[in-house]
Chain A
Amino acid sequence: MDSRPQTKTSPAAHGTQDTLGTIDAVIAANRSLAGALLPMLHGIQDLLGYVPSTAVPRLANALNLSQAEVHGVLSFYHDFRTVPPGRHILRLCRAEACQAMGCDALETHLQQQHGLSFHETAQDRSITLEPVYCLGNCACAPSLLVNGEVRGRVTQEKLDRWIQELRTTAGGNS
């Protein structure tokens, strides 16, 4: 397993044969695991960037669960997305150690200067901003995860620079 999950297909591929093929492949690969639903949901999101609604009946069928049970698990965990994210994902830590070093001001800055709010994707689909509660980087707060990579001692200036870069680059990780 790669340490940093990669999004390999276009998130717009919702419901296509490719997407269904990916979902079925993930289900097949994890079927023998005990407690397989979470590994399957992770596997799908690692590859597609989110868990499409078309995955729910397939997961339910494979695991002999009701669709309601699968939906219950999917909606319980903060990590799982049910809509495609932007090309890049920023996760800003909101926990206490980061608050002690001014993460609230960074949240305001992202909103006012860059139009980025938590749980939302920029209109140009370049960036999705999500809150996260602790990245284990608390000695070098405030912390941010940029496409899965931790950045410490984040300042408004650094944020401006990174966002500028991300807005103009393709690619994308989850």
Chain B
Amino acid sequence: MSVTIYVPNDSTAIGLGANTTAQAITRIAAERGIAIRLIRNGSRGLFWLEPFVEVVTTEGRIAYGPVEAHDVPGLFEAQFLQGGAHRLRLGTPESIPYLAQQERLTFSRVGVIDPLSISDYEAHGGGRGLRAALQAKPEELVEEISKSGLRGRGGAAFPAGIKWKTVLNARAEQKYIVCNADEGDSGTFSDRMILEGDPFVLIEGMVLAGLAVGATEGYLYLRSEYPHALGILLTAIRNAENAGYLGSNLLGSGKQFHLHVRRGAGAYICGEETAMLESLEGKRGMVRPKPPLPALAGLWGKPTVINNVMTLAAVPLILDKGGAYYAGYGAGKSRGTLPFQLAGNIKRGGLVEKAFGVTLRQMLYDFGGGSASGRPIRAVQVGGPLGAYLPESKFDTALDYEAFAAAGGMVGHGGIVAFDDTVDMARMARYAMEFCAIESCGKCTPCRIGSTRGVEVIDRVVQGQQRTENLALLRDLCDTLSNASLCAMGGLTPSPVLSALTHFPEDFQRPPIPAPGGRASRTIRRH
């Protein structure tokens, strides 16, 4: 009988050598005449242990990691196919504290199953939501989502039930489901991990959204920076079509849902929902004014549900186990779980799915193990490039939408980026403005011009020119951006800038750095 071995086919794992590890295992097994079944799974999300190899033994799955290609001969010597002792042996994955202390609902199958096998998906609870939903009325499905308390996981945290109800009640001959897979926030990778590790859960979530609101067409907008995820997703869609999860006759019910994929083209602003609609329509990714709401006049002017990958991927479980089950997790008005992502200067970076309410400190130290450099963590940016930088005094804030907002932060898409004490916060503030200047769609003046002026003002501060006046000007500029921008790009760019200024003022009072050649050290280039 052949031995089953799992080696992740996740981008990060591959970036750390998973493909060469897999090749070494296949080659040496062949040389030794050992029959193996190699499955390329998603990642468990314990990235400091990747490539994370699992072997199915009589005692269950046994993990080894990090396994590089040169470790493979030694593992065969140590009888790892029978779970033999080795310095890289980690035991059963579920017993590793990092994983054992999580509450994996959306990520329950990621790293466990073969991401492209429908039968594996169904053997681990997949498809039950769809089977139940095909027997239910649309109103009942929307009601269950409302009951779950699910809020948009892309950042804005808008209640999904209300959005769905608006689209359900809109009258139109065609409605659309749009999945926002333009995961552009630095420090986030949960969407990518679902796309690579359990794409069927997202496909099922989109089909369920379609059944709930009466939409038969879905568009998935995937950022071009994820070419590996695209390949897996396209194969998964083919497999889903063959299995009746997509197409004109969903699981023999006569109901239909068709899914199309579109590639983004490197524009961060296309993660903003109306810019995404423009991009899907083949135009420049320019933000649309609201109203009209996309729920009433979205893609090609039709009623459209736009949800993030994480929002849609939570749906199959909710419609399988009920809204109350999902709402049983969480804190305050933040119900359910959020797959947090630990990134940047962190010792144990990875995916941590926890119910809302866990503190930032627990994330950074209990899970993350402190900084990768071993130096003190000085600043943490939560919620992507538009999120605030938080100092150590805020680390005990609970990660739920309201509590975090009260502390001046934003949970956003759950990305947590740690910086050690070598960080220069004036530089990070400048980068926030520079990023806005590079990525602004240009529709509104505060964002388009204010961001460039922001870079210049911060440069003058750093160069020691009239610091008091220029810092006052910077705050004034941030006020304009916050209040007069059309969308969150310009509206929230002040958040990293002002938090750096408020919590780390000393970084703006360092000895002046003269400008090279009397000019700003670096001009902004869009291309």
Which residues does A use to contact B, with CB under 8 Å?
A: 1-5, 34-39, 41-42, 63, 72-73, 75-80, 95-101, 118-119, 132-141, 143, 145, 148-153
Name 8 extra pairs, CB < 8 A, besides A96-B431, A118-B525, A152-B15.
A3-B228, A3-B230, A73-B283, A95-B186, A136-B189, A138-B188, A139-B350, A150-B14
Q: What residues on A are CB-neighbors of B300 within 8 Å?
A: 34
Q: What residues on A are CB-neighbors of B265 within 8 Å?
A: 38, 41-42, 77-80
Complex Cα distance, B265 from A35, in Å, reads 14
Contact, CB under 8 Å: B346 / A139: yes
Contact, CB under 8 Å: A78 / B267: yes
Contact, CB under 8 Å: A133 / B435: yes
Q: What residues on B are CB-neighbors of A38 within 8 Å?
A: 262-263, 265, 279, 282
Most chain B C-beta atoms within 10 Å of own C-beta, residue among A35, A76, A143: A76
Complex Cα distance, B275 from A76, in Å, reads 12
Contact, CB under 8 Å: B227 / A78: no
Interface assignment of B144: CB less than 8 Å from any CB of chain A: no
Contact, CB under 8 Å: A136 / B225: yes
Name which residue of chain A comes closest to B441, CB basis. Answer: A76
Complex Cα distance, B420 from A138, in Å, reads 15
Name which residue of chain B comes closest to A139, CB basis. Answer: B349
Contact, CB under 8 Å: A100 / B228: no
Total contacts A-B at CB 8 Å: 168
CB of A7, distance to nearest CB on chain B (Å): 13
Name which residue of chain A comes closest to B496, CB basis. Answer: A96
CB of A40, distance to nearest CB on chain B (Å): 9
Contact, CB under 8 Å: A76 / B226: no
Contact, CB under 8 Å: B186 / A134: yes
Contact, CB under 8 Å: A150 / B263: no
Interface assignment of B187: CB less than 8 Å from any CB of chain A: yes
Interface assignment of B354: CB less than 8 Å from any CB of chain A: no
Which residues does B use to contact A, with CB under 8 Å?
A: 11-12, 14-16, 47-48, 50, 183-189, 191-192, 224-228, 230-232, 234, 260, 262-268, 279-285, 300, 341-346, 349-350, 372, 381, 385, 415, 417-420, 423, 428, 431, 435, 438-439, 441, 525-527
CB of A117, distance to nearest CB on chain B (Å): 10
Q: What residues on B are CB-neighbors of A139 within 8 Å?
A: 12, 47-48, 189, 341-343, 346, 349-350
Q: What residues on A are CB-neighbors of B260 within 8 Å?
A: 34
Q: A35-B281, A136-B192, A152-B16 are in contact. Are A100 and B419 (CB under 8 A)?
A: yes
Complex Cα distance, B15 from A150, in Å, reads 5
Complex Cα distance, B183 from A4, in Å, reads 19
CB of B345, distance to nearest CB on chain A (Å): 4
Name which residue of chain B comes closest to A138, CB basis. Answer: B343
Complex Cα distance, B341 from A95, in Å, reads 15
Q: A42-B265, A79-B265 are in contact. Are A133 and B230 (CB under 8 A)?
A: no
The interface residues of chain B, by DSSP majority, are classed as: mixed
Q: What residues on A are CB-neighbors of B266 within 8 Å?
A: 77-79, 132-133
Name which residue of chain B comes closest to A4, CB basis. Answer: B227
Q: A78-B267, A134-B184, A136-B188 are in contact. Are A97 and B343 (CB under 8 A)?
A: yes
Complex Cα distance, B74 from A37, in Å, reads 52
Instruction: Determine which of A79, A99, A137, A141 lies in contact with B224 in the assembled complex, contact meaning CB atoms within 8 Å.
Output: A79
A-B pairs with beta carbons under 8 Å apart, 24 shown? A35-B283, A38-B265, A76-B285, A78-B527, A79-B266, A96-B344, A96-B428, A97-B415, A99-B428, A100-B418, A118-B525, A133-B184, A133-B438, A134-B183, A135-B225, A136-B11, A136-B191, A136-B225, A139-B349, A139-B350, A140-B16, A140-B50, A140-B349, A145-B225
CB of B15, distance to nearest CB on chain A (Å): 4
Q: What residues on B are CB-neighbors of A118 within 8 Å?
A: 525
Q: A134-B225, A139-B349, A150-B12 are in contact. Are A97 and B281 (CB under 8 A)?
A: no
CB of A4, distance to nearest CB on chain B (Å): 5
Q: What residues on B are CB-neighbors of A100 within 8 Å?
A: 343-345, 417-420, 423
Contact, CB under 8 Å: B349 / A1: no
CB of A33, distance to nearest CB on chain B (Å): 8
Complex Cα distance, B417 from A149, in Å, reads 23
Complex Cα distance, B340 from A138, in Å, reads 12
Name which residue of chain A comes closest to B16, CB basis. Answer: A152
Q: What residues on A are CB-neighbors of B183 within 8 Å?
A: 134, 136
Q: What residues on A are CB-neighbors of B418 within 8 Å?
A: 100
Contact, CB under 8 Å: B267 / A77: yes
CB of A102, distance to nearest CB on chain B (Å): 9
Q: What residues on B are CB-neighbors of A76 within 8 Å?
A: 267, 284-285, 441
Q: What residues on B are CB-neighbors of A140 within 8 Å?
A: 12, 15-16, 47, 50, 349
Complex Cα distance, B381 from A157, in Å, reads 29
Contact, CB under 8 Å: A133 / B346: no
Complex Cα distance, B217 from A35, in Å, reads 14
Contact, CB under 8 Å: A137 / B12: yes
Instruction: Determine which of B227, B283, B341 lies in contact with A5 in the assembled complex, contact meaning CB atoms within 8 Å.
Output: B227
CB of A64, distance to nearest CB on chain B (Å): 12
Contact, CB under 8 Å: B186 / A101: no
Q: What residues on B are CB-neighbors of A73 within 8 Å?
A: 282-284
Top 10 A-B residue pairs of the complex, sorted by shortest distance between their CB atoms:
A3-B231, A139-B349, A95-B186, A138-B343, A77-B265, A100-B344, A37-B282, A78-B266, A35-B282, A79-B266
CB of B270, distance to nearest CB on chain A (Å): 8
Q: What residues on B are CB-neighbors of A151 within 8 Å?
A: 15
Contact, CB under 8 Å: B185 / A134: yes
Instruction: Determine which of A35, A97, A145 lies in contact with B344 in the assembled complex, contact meaning CB atoms within 8 Å.
Output: A97
Name which residue of chain B comes closest to A118, CB basis. Answer: B525
Q: What residues on A are CB-neighbors of B187 within 8 Å?
A: 95-97, 134, 138
Complex Cα distance, B48 from A133, in Å, reads 22
Complex Cα distance, B11 from A135, in Å, reads 9
CB of B68, distance to nearest CB on chain A (Å): 12
Complex Cα distance, B11 from A136, in Å, reads 8
CB of A54, distance to nearest CB on chain B (Å): 20
CB of B241, distance to nearest CB on chain A (Å): 15
